Amino acid sequence: MDNQEQKHQRRVRYKGTHPKAFNEKYKELQPEKYADTVAKVIQKGSTPAGMHRSICVREILDFLQITPGQVGLDATLGYGGHTLEMLKCLDSKGHLYAIDVDAIELPRTRERLERLGYGPEILTIRQMNFSSINQVVSESGPLNFILADLGVSSMQIDNPDRGFSFKIEGPLDLRLNPKKGISAAERLKTISQYELEGMLIENSDEPHASIIASAVVSEIRKGTDISTTTQLQQIIKDVLKFIPEKNRKDEVKKTCQRCFQALRIDVNNEFGVLYEFLEKLPSALAEGGRVAILSFHSGEDRLVKKSFQHFYRAGVYSEIAPDPIKPSAEECNTNSRARSAKLRWAVKA
């Protein structure tokens, strides 16, 4: 028997009175242990580190009208907030399938939901893309309700190791599944100016697409390795120096948001997999089945709108949302990430 005492590992200390770096926010990263701290962060209108605040929960549940005994799918599990609320509606009767491509966050969400008492008897979780919804249906049968939240989760955005945000230094990755495909940094190494400009316009309606594409490709041709989030941000900053100083900071921020969004959509083929998902939706739904889709930018919303209209005209859907539903003013005031959300729905004939 080893009698040697194990040395106590002290928590890494941070500078100042409050932690700023993602990994130092130990209280926010342990919500079960520090519930008061998490509540204070949310009360201020912020999202605690490592968490995600689900959007339009009431509006989604009001439309889906989930009843005990039904079978449904959360096509984008994420942090599991929407999943949890749908499970409560089922009241331990029926079954919910939940899928996600994120190999990092999915196990954590599975563990959280299991701790709350939702095991395989009521909840089946799989790591897969929602474009493969037909694989779920081959096991579940036609579904009574489906939800897809197309937004990137807050815990993905806030974690600098994922490279989703230009606000913090991190690898320029942007993959929803870091084990699959190539990173945004690798993508930029071989891209042409024409292709990058097209990507920025098509994926994010970027008004400065031409000069940004020119500057990025010029740096790459010089041998510059654009491998971090802040390196790309700096190129964008330098490009926009012609903008009057009083407007520059805000314009740089918006441009960075659009450029990172465009790259993320590209490396994850988000429009392609969304189109495939929308094409397979009618076959996945039971008669009278309901689907709700939450999108966060115009490109996604256009695809959802056109698909719903197409199948409605074909008589596949009996009803579709006449207009997108937006989060309430109260929700937008308490959660800034809700402001760009649009919810559309359809009912299978």
| Residue bearing tokens 């929308």 | 278
**What does the alpha-carbon distance between residue 112 and residue 91 come to, in Å, rounded to a whole number?**
18
Nearest to 239 by CA among 258, 263, 265: 258
Total-model pTM: 0.82
Shared-domain flag, residues 249 and 281: no
SS (H, E, C) 266-300: HHCCHHHHHHHHHHHHHHHEEEEEEEEEEECCHHH
Q: What is the pLDDT of residue 236?
A: 96
Q: What is the pLDDT of residue 160?
A: 73
Q: What is the pLDDT of residue 29?
A: 47
- What does the pLDDT profile of the chain (349 residues) look like in tens digits? 444 444 545 554 545 555 555 454 444 445 555 555 544 544 554 444 455 588 999 999 999 999 999 999 999 998 889 999 999 999 999 999 999 998 888 998 999 999 999 999 999 999 999 999 999 999 999 999 999 999 877 667 677 777 777 778 889 999 988 888 999 999 999 999 999 999 999 999 999 999 999 999 999 999 998 999 999 999 999 999 999 989 999 999 999 999 999 999 999 999 999 999 999 999 999 999 999 999 988 889 999 999 999 999 999 999 999 999 999 998 888 887 888 899 999 999 9
Shared-domain flag, residues 142 and 100: yes
CA atoms in the 13 A half-sphere facing the CB of 134: 9
Q: Which tokens sit at 195?
A: 């292709």
- H helices of 44-192, in order, are 57-64, 81-90, 105-115, 133-140, 154-158, 184-189
Domain with 234, as residue range(s), is 178-267
Answer yes or no: is 168 within a domain.
no
Shared-domain flag, residues 343 and 211: no
Q: What is the pLDDT of residue 38?
A: 45
Q: Domains in the chain: how many in total?
A: 2
Q: What is the pLDDT of residue 334?
A: 84
Shared-domain flag, residues 257 and 184: yes
Shared-domain flag, residues 240 and 206: yes
Shared-domain flag, residues 185 and 263: yes
What are the residues facing 293 on neighbouring strands?
148, 344
DSSP state of 73: E
Q: Which tokens sit at 125?
A: 């979780």
Buried b or exposed e, range 300-316, using 16+ CB within 10 angstroms? bbebbbebbeebbeeeb
- H helices of 141-208, in order, are 154-158, 184-189, 193-204
Shared-domain flag, residues 276 and 258: no
| Residue bearing tokens 């009618």 | 282
Pairing mode, strands 342-348 and 285-295: antiparallel
Q: Which tokens sit at 290?
A: 């309901």
Answer yes or no: is 134 within a domain.
yes
CATH for 281? 3.40.50.150
Quickly list DSSP for 250-265: HHHHHHHHHHHHHHHH
Find all residues with CB under 8 Å of 331, minimum gap 6, and list them: 55, 56, 338
Asked if residues 233 and 260 have their Cβ atoms less than 8 Å apart, the reply is no
Q: What is the pLDDT of residue 336?
A: 79
Q: What is the pLDDT of residue 45?
A: 47
Shared-domain flag, residues 262 and 207: yes
Q: What is the pLDDT of residue 98?
A: 96
Q: What is the pLDDT of residue 255?
A: 95
Nearest to 109 by CA among 157, 158, 51, 148: 51
Q: Cα–Cα–Cα angle for 181, 170, 75, nearest 5°?
A: 45
